[in-house]
Structure 1
Amino acid sequence: MTGWRLLLTRPADESAALARVLAEARVFSSSLPLLDIEPIAVSATIREVICSLDRYCAVIVVSKPAARIAVDLIKQFWSQPPVPRWFSVGAATAQILEANGLEVSFPVDGDDSEALLELPRLREAIAGPDPQVLIMRGEGGRELLAERLRELGASVEYLELYRRGLPQYPPATLPERIEAEHLNGLVVSSGQGFEHLHRLAGDAWPVMARLPLFVPSPRVAELARAAGAQTVVDCRGASAAALLTALREHPVPVF
């Protein structure tokens, strides 16, 4: 895999962690964070939901930022960890929750909404009368999860804990980085990450659209193809392991 030269676009700390794993696999990467995570101020609504977590049959945490903010809030308002069944979309998010005393279930064969929805323990959690599910996330995000849960008879609420902003860069920063470092692949971890990539590319997007684009889910893949991305690789998850598997299975482009 030494021929890959990837642009990483996650928040700075996540890109740094991913870059270390890629380096061990002898994959070159360059980080240009396209998401700033800004926690939402704790409102009366957020406080009320956090203080009543035990009324939900399932609490689903869809991202690492949501997990970090959630455990901080739980420490503020609970003397002991609350007892609903906890779920996450991927192992990395689960690790944050587990490190803070929560028992978490997550799919081991794919870290996306589709894999989570097939998890027997989640199906069991919502099988009772009047199941109520809470999804912790950033502003906007995974709608498929809530739609499918409602189809299965659950009542679903969102608790939005942060918003994602686009860091400020001088014009042409993105295409200049790709050209200067001879990058041949792009990695995004969410739909909003792709939207920021597309926006920052500007007039250079038709050229960048020819580069392989590694995405975490079918939803993001569809978004990218609709915008004109020519080679979209669905990693079926946002983890480093999922990306490495996709890199092994996809040939390095020759330009």
Structure 2
Amino acid sequence: ILRGEGGRELLGAELGRRGAEVVIAELYRRAPPPDADPQRLAGWLRDGAIDIVTASSNESLTNLFDLLDARGRESLLSTPLLVVSPRAARLARDLGWSHAPVIATGADAAAIVAALAGWHSARTAEHTTHTITPATTPEPPAITARDPTSDPPEDPT
């Protein structure tokens, strides 16, 4: 199994239980980059220069959160978020995200791009301006969002 340092044991344990010989190669570390600039990132978040944050692992989400001070976290937690699993959505809720994250159907590039495109389409529809005449009032566009106070669907892993 090729994974990050300290990765989850579930797959290896299940394969071993089924009789496989499991060898684990830890190929990378999930840690903040040593040259990260938290003040610059916090400025971008505060200024609205970041439309949505994507996190492809719980560790990346936690590292991003830990990188920022309290003021930066406040901006981060009000920025839309895309994650790749219900488990990450629960973590985002626990960290204090102010709204439910977009959950991609998987961690692969195609699933993330599709989720971003769906989010962007919904956002664009939400911000579309309408010409209102005295005789009619247009219906606001329908945006479906998960209730941030409810639990996301269970993660099968």
For this structure pair, what is the TM-score category when the shorter chain's length is used for normalisation? 0.5 to 0.7
Distance 1:190 1:181, change over 3 A: same
Instruction: Return the offset for 1:172.
Output: 2.0
Q: Which residue of 1 aligns with 2:136?
A: none
Letter in 2 for 1:210: S
Q: C-alpha displacement at 1:150, in angstroms? A: 4.6
Larger relative contact order (Cα-Cα within 8 Å, sequence gap ≥ 6) = 1
> 5+ residue gaps in structure 2?
128-157
Residue 227 of structure 1 corresponds to: 95
Mapped partners of 1:148, 1:171: distance in 2:
39
1:243 matched to 2:91? The reply is: no
Give distance in 2, aligned partners of 1:202 and 1:219.
24
Q: 2:28 aligns with which of 118, 140, 162?
A: 162
> Larger % of strand: which?
1
Secondary structure, in 3 states, of the residue corresponding to 1:187?
strand
Is 1:144 the counterpart of 2:144 in the alignment? no
Q: What is the CA distance between 1:151 and its match in structure 2?
A: 5.3
Tell me what 1:218 maps to. 86
Structure 1 spans left out of the alignment, 5+ residues = 1-134
Question: For the Cα contact (< 8 Å) 1:211–1:231, is it kept in 2?
Answer: no
Q: Which residue of 2 aligns with 1:58?
A: none
- TM-score, scaled relative to structure 1: 0.40
Q: Secondary structure at the match of 1:165?
A: coil
**Per the alignment, in what secondary structure is the counterpart of residue 78 of structure 2?**
coil
Count of residue pairs the alignment pairs up: 121
Distance 1:162 1:170, change over 3 A: closer
| Other-structure match for 1:208 | 76
CA-based RMSD: 2.8
Please tell me the residue identity of whatever aligns with 2:52.
G
Q: Distance in 2 between matches of 1:225 and 1:150?
A: 33
Contact 1:185-1:211 at 8 Å conserved across structures: yes
2:57 is the counterpart of 1:186: no
Aligned-pair CA distance for 1:196 = 1.2
- TM-score after normalising by structure 2: 0.61
